[in-house]
Amino acid sequence: MSVSKFTVLSAESLNPEHPLHDEFTARMDDIWENYSQYPWLIPPQLGSWKSSIRPVVRKAMEIMDGVQLWWLREPEVDLCKEWAQMENMLFPSPLWDAYR
């Protein structure tokens, strides 16, 4: 699905009557379940996977949703470059250096 179609459907699904309302409402939980299927290595000082990483995954998705909106308005935006900058904010050095 293209970013523009996804964005329109996401906005339309804010209406509880929309046929995709439940799917978009469950999106963050579904993404979390998908991420949780893999044996990620995280810095031990962060504690448990669920308590420390779930908020980071959520923030990553929120950031990407926002960057995609910006990109739709200004196609010259470099999504990879934007993500690289955000990645450093979400996974700062030196804490995450050995886990990239």
Summarised one tens digit per residue, pLDDT across range 33-81 is 999 999 999 999 999 888 899 999 999 999 999 999 999 999 999 989 9
Dist. CA 56–CA 73, nearest whole Å: 26
The predicted pLDDT at position 41 comes to 92
**Segment 80-92 mean pLDDT:** 91
Dist. CA 91–CA 100, nearest whole Å: 9
The predicted pLDDT at position 55 comes to 92
Q: What is the 3-state secondary structure (H, E, C) of the chain?
A: CCHHHHHHHHHHCCCCCCCCHHHHHCHHHHHHHHHCCCCCCCCHHHCCHHHHHHHHHHHHHHHHHHHHHHHHHCCCCCHHHHHHHHHHHHCCCCCCHHHC
The predicted pLDDT at position 1 comes to 63
pLDDT tens digits, 8-30: 999 999 999 999 999 999 999 99
The predicted pLDDT at position 50 comes to 84
Count of domains for the chain = 1
Instruction: Write out the residue range of the structural domain in which residue 71 sits.
Output: 3-99
